[in-house]
Amino acid sequence: MWQAPGAHDALIEARGLAVGYEGQVLVGDIQLQVRLGQVVTLIGPNGAGKSTILKTLAGQLAELGGCVLLCGKDLRQVSVRTRAQQLSVMLTDRVRTELLTCADIVEMGRYPYTGRLGAATPQDRQKVREAMELLQVWDLRDHDFMQLSDGQRQRVLLARAVCQEPRLLVLDEPTSHLDVRYQIELLSVLRHLAHDQGLGILMTLHELPLARRVSDWLVCIKEGQITLQGTPEQVFVPSVIDDLYDLTPGTYDALTGDVTLRVAQGAERDIDA
């Protein structure tokens, strides 16, 4: 059973949280925590409310019940600027810009630190460079953001989130639009940020093998509630995954992380989940 650790090291904590839109609760009774240096991943079928939970924890949607504590303080009492210094996001929203370079986008991450008119100091510019180098987009610094491929845009947006120097990164499907190589590179960057720099990371992922390898803690969401949370070893058990995604029992192979695709004629074919 999941045990509540000491509240002092929780970067973000949901207590009896209910989330949803326009008063309609989508997921209720959410208890979860992200601690320093921890990678926490929400998994579950489409439409289960994973993104809604992220948006509520990031303060973009009002809580419908319970509360969110950001670094021990009620999120509703935290100023937007303080929140921005402690938590940054990467969303699935499509970003359309006009005549902005990648460095311009990343530099926006300095927003909560710059003065009234937003002028970047040399220190800010150095942070921009470091974030862009970490995500391997420094070479694209003077390229127009709209000219990039989807995968490059994704990395630039993550560099922006990193440049905001949060204590907690909230990422909605960070690996979408990325090919396998960049998926793996991105996740190793996230692990580095969590394990070497002590950031907390909370994200949603669709790719189960990736979720299994990168996460320290997994939260399964299905039909309006958290059905299970635990370490990868506890969650990546055939019965759990089959149940979470309503798969025919035996479809998920815990050893390889693969699912078996059953074809109507009875022939079997392996695909990468």
Partner 1 sequence: MTRDARRDEATETYGAGRSTRALCVFGGLIALLTIALVANLCIGTVSVPVEQMLPILMGKFQGETAYQVIWNIRLPRLCAAALLGGALGLAGLLLQTLFANPIAGPYILGISNGAKLAVAVVMILILGDTRVMSSWMSLAAAFCGSLAAMAAVLAVSRKVRSASTLVIVGVMIGYVCSAATDVLITFASDANIANLRNWSLGSFSGINGGQVALMAIVVAAGSAATYLLAKPLGAYQLGEAYAESMGVNVRAFRIAVIIISSVLASCVTAFAGPISFVGVAVPHVARRLLKTSRPRVVIPAAFLTGSVACLLCDLIARTLFAPVEMSVSTVTAVFGAPVVIWVLLGRRRQVG
Can you give the binding site for partner 1, defined by CB under 8 A?
A: 55, 58-60, 80-81, 83-85, 87-89, 91, 93, 95-101, 103-105, 108-109, 111-112, 114, 116-119, 122-123, 125-126, 128-129, 141-142, 146, 164
Min. distance of Cβ 147 from partner 1 in angstroms? 9
User: Which among 103, 104, 125, 102 has a CA at the least distance from the CA of 113?
Assistant: 125
CB nearer partner 1, residue 92 or residue 260: 92
Which of 114, 227 has the CB closer to partner 1?
A: 114
Kindly tell me which of 146 and 261 has the beta carbon lying closer to partner 1.
146
Supply the minimum distance, in Å, between the C-beta of residue 82 and partner 1. 8
Residue 156 or 220 having the CB closest to partner 1:
156
The distance of closest approach from Cβ of residue 134 to partner 1 in the complex, given in angstroms and rounded to an integer, is 14
Question: Which residues, in sequence order, are CB contacts of 266 under 8 Å at separation 6+?
Answer: none
CB of 173 to partner 1, least distance (A): 14
Q: Which of 41, 57, 70 is nearest to 216 (CA)?
A: 41
| Minimum CB distance to partner 1 smaller for 54 or for 210 | 54
Instruction: Tell me the two tokens of residue 61.
Output: 């949607």
CB of 2 to partner 1, least distance (A): 28
Q: What minimum distance in Å lies between the beta carbon of 28 and partner 1?
A: 23
Give whichever of 78 and 220 is closer to partner 1, judged by the CB atom: 78
Write the DSSP string, the chain.
Answer: ------GGGEEEEEEEEEEEETTEEEEEEEEEEEETT-EEEEE-STTSSHHHHHHHHTTSS--SEEEEEETTEEGGGS-HHHHHHHEEEE-SSPP--SS-BHHHHHHGGGTTTS-TT-PPPHHHHHHHHHHHHHTT-GGGTTSBGGGS-HHHHHHHHHHHHHHT--SEEEEESTTTT--HHHHHHHHHHHHHHHHTT--EEEEE-S-HHHHHHH-SEEEEEETTEEEEEE-HHHH--HHHHHHHTTPPTT-EETTTTEEEEEPTTS-EEEE--
Q: Cα dihedral sign for 222, 61, 186, 72?
A: negative
To partner 1, the closest distance from the beta carbon of 51 in angstroms equals 11
C-beta closer to partner 1: residue 156 or 211: 156
